[in-house]
């Protein structure tokens, strides 16, 4: 396998793993504002445009929009975040310095630590995936 193909698969694998981790963390940790706010951004935009109403009737009348808000935005945000983290960590890892692998591990610990330590009360602010989700279902 050519070296470029191996690098691509390494980056793609890291992107999938990080994206899945961010998606699971965002779904299970509504207190983590760094993930909850971008996940709920599409709900907030539809709310500002006057298309969102609390309750299950909104979901029946705007089925496609509800699916995109519920699944599309979290998947898109976690994929973009996973790609950026994988790209940055791969660049740090492949620096060639003696301590580059340690710097990569410290970077990943800092990212996950930042996501898990910046916390608020669930649904306590106006752009909240958890807040919109609980209002709908």
The domain segmentation of the chain, as residue ranges, is: 3-132
The predicted structure's pLDDT at residue 66: 83
Token pair for 26: 């965002």
* Angle subtended by helix axes 3-28 and 73-93, to nearest 10: 130
Separation in Å, CA 13 to CA 17, 33, 93: 6, 26, 15
Phi, psi at residue 84, to the nearest 5°?
-65, -45
Query: Where is average pLDDT lowest: 20-24, 85-89, 117-121?
Result: 117-121
Quote the mean pLDDT of the chain.
84
Give the model's confidence band at 103: pLDDT under 50 very low, under 70 low, under 90 confident, else very high. very high
Evaluate if residue 48 carries a pLDDT over 80: yes
**pTM reported for the whole predicted model:** 0.82
Which carries the bigger pLDDT value, residue 131 or residue 87? 87
């Amino acid at each position: 396998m050519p070296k470029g193909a191996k690098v691509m698969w390494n980056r793609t694998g890291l992107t999938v793993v990080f994206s899945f981790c961010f998606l699971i963390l965002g779904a299970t940790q509504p207190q983590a504002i760094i993930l909850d706010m971008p996940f709920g951004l599409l709900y907030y935009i539809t709310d500002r445009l006057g298309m969102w109403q609390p309750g299950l009737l909104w979901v029946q009348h705007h089925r496609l929009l509800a699916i995109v808000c519920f699944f599309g935005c979290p998947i898109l945000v976690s994929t973009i975040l996973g790609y950026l983290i994988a790209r940055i960590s791969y660049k740090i890892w492949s620096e060639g310095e003696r301590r580059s692998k340690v710097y990569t591990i410290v970077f990943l610990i800092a990212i996950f630590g930042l996501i898990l330590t910046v916390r608020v009360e669930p649904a306590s602010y106006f752009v909240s995936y958890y807040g919109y989700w609980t209002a709908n279902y």
